[in-house]
Amino acid sequence: MKKYLILFFVFFVLTVACSKQEKKEAQKEEIKLGLLVDVSGPLVTYGVNSKHACEIAQEKINKFFEEKNYPYKIKLYLEDTKTDPKLCLDKVQSLQAKGINVFLGPLSSAEVKNLKNYLLSNKLIIISPSSTAPPEAIGCAKPEDKKYIFRIVASADSEGEAIADVAKDLGAQKAIIIYRVDAWGEGVKKSTVKFLKANNINLVQVIPYDPNISDWSPIIGKATNIVKKDFNKNDAVIFLGFEEVSTLLSQISQNSPLLNVKWLAGDAVAGSQKVLEEVKDKAKKIGLYSAIFYSESKEAEKLKKEFQERKFASPDQYALNIYDAAWILSISYAELLKENHGYDADMLAKKIKENAINYSEGKFGVEPITGYIKFNEWNDRVSGSYAIYAVTNEGWKIKALWDFKTKKVIWK
């Protein structure tokens, strides 16, 4: 009998404890964050990594709120945008109908451009980890046009300069550009052209392509005719597009002169798992030197370890960026609620700018994983350096760093 009484008492205590915990959880106000990433389209590598980073951030932020006795918890609402501007807007409207006013993502500048007017008129806030097109390329003529659009990454001006400087260091005297016709492609193309000319590299031709391309033979034909005529092994094909570079390379024959020159690319290619899975040997032969914004602190190693332990792929820079963005947005929103304010886009935007600095300086007891974060008047991250990745036997490896301060390529 005594044994049964003890068991009953233990059961009663556990039931009460669980009930209290459930009540405590129910009393927490939910901060809803829309997550707009590509998990099945041309930026799938980066979208999946960003999804994983945000899920880890959600766990850690909720633990942080609990330790600080904040009566809030964040919840992610994931939507696959497929990097499609129209679909992305549809997803935002759908999430807004559920009471969601703030978003992490989207990944591409074309999506951001298509959202701009809707965000402005509906007072919705986004923080993109990877949109790099200059403000004018996404339809923003003045900072006021972009007051609800934050980008925790440097703009494409520096990216184009880095690409051109790498081409020069590799010994290129001539180059062709193959670029994606969208807001990002136009922006980084413009910057790259500018700095190729500054480096006295002869830009022989600029070849545009539709983002929905499937048959690359016309592009391959044009590029081949130019390269076989008078390019040497150090001259460059500069590809300014997304992970569709793997499809392009797969359609190039093994004996093509296009595989006898250097290839360079931008941030939407660096670290692509699709490239390694589908065209690693060709990519290794041409180098596929790809420039991507680079900023990591020692804290980044902890997130990389988390990814490894969970059997995820190694996180790219944009996954690191969105992790920090999740912290800044969540803390800022919680502060807004603590001050007894409902959702106020202008007040929240102000807090995001302030708390990016506070977070960077460790004032919340949490260290950023991408180093110091400060937004300029356009709500874009103040420019930084670029890592230059290339494909090797071991996969993607950093071969050099382009230093923003010195404007020099430092080879490893």
What value does the CA radius of gyration of the chain take, rounded to a whole number of Å?
A: 24
Listed in sequence order, the residues at least 6 apart from 144 whose beta carbon sits closer than 8 Å to its beta carbon are none
Predicted local distance difference test score (pLDDT) of residue 79? 99
Question: Judging by beta carbons within 10 Å of its beta carbon (0-12, 13-18, 19+), is residue 204 exposed, middle or buried?
Answer: middle
**CA 320/CA 254 separation, integer angstroms:** 36
Q: Does an H or E element contain 397, and which?
A: strand 395-403
At 330, give phi and psi (nearest 5°). -65, -45
Digit-coded pLDDT (tens) for 318-375: 999 999 999 999 999 999 999 987 899 999 999 999 999 999 999 999 999 999 999 9
Q: Which of 210, 187, 38, 194 is nearest to 113 (CA)?
A: 187
Nearest 5°: CA angle at 107, between 195 and 245? 60
Structural tokens at position 37: 């990433």
Partners of residue 395 on adjacent β-strands: 392
Q: Which of 175, 163, 129 is nearest to 291 (CA)?
A: 163
The domain locations on the chain are 28-153+297-360, 156-294+385-411
28-153+297-360 fold: Rossmann fold (3.40.50)
- Distance from the first to the final alpha carbon of the chain: 75
Rounded to two decimals, what is the model's pTM?
A: 0.90
Q: Do domains 28-153+297-360 and 156-294+385-411 have the same CATH topology?
A: yes
The CATH architecture of the domain made up of 156-294+385-411 is 3-Layer(aba) Sandwich (3.40)
- E-only strand ranges, 181-258: 202-209, 236-240
CA distances from 84 to 20, 88, 195, 324 (A): 45, 6, 30, 25
Predicted local distance difference test score (pLDDT) of residue 386? 96
Specify the pairing of strand 385-392 against strand 262-265.
Answer: unpaired
Question: Judging by beta carbons within 10 Å of its beta carbon (0-12, 13-18, 19+), is residue 246 exposed, middle or buried?
Answer: buried
Predicted local distance difference test score (pLDDT) of residue 20? 47
Tell me if 32 sits within 8 A of 77, measured CB to CB. Answer: yes
Question: Judging by beta carbons within 10 Å of its beta carbon (0-12, 13-18, 19+), is residue 353 exposed, middle or buried?
Answer: middle
At 400, give phi and psi (nearest 5°). -160, 165
What is the residue-wise DSSP string for 121-143?
Answer: HHT-EEEESS--S-GGGGT-SSG
Q: Does an H or E element contain 75, and which?
A: strand 72-80
Predicted local distance difference test score (pLDDT) of residue 384? 84
Q: Which of 93, 91, 150 is nearest to 118 (CA)?
A: 93
Sites in the chain below the pLDDT cut of 50: 10, 13, 16-21, 23
Structural tokens at position 24: 């405590």
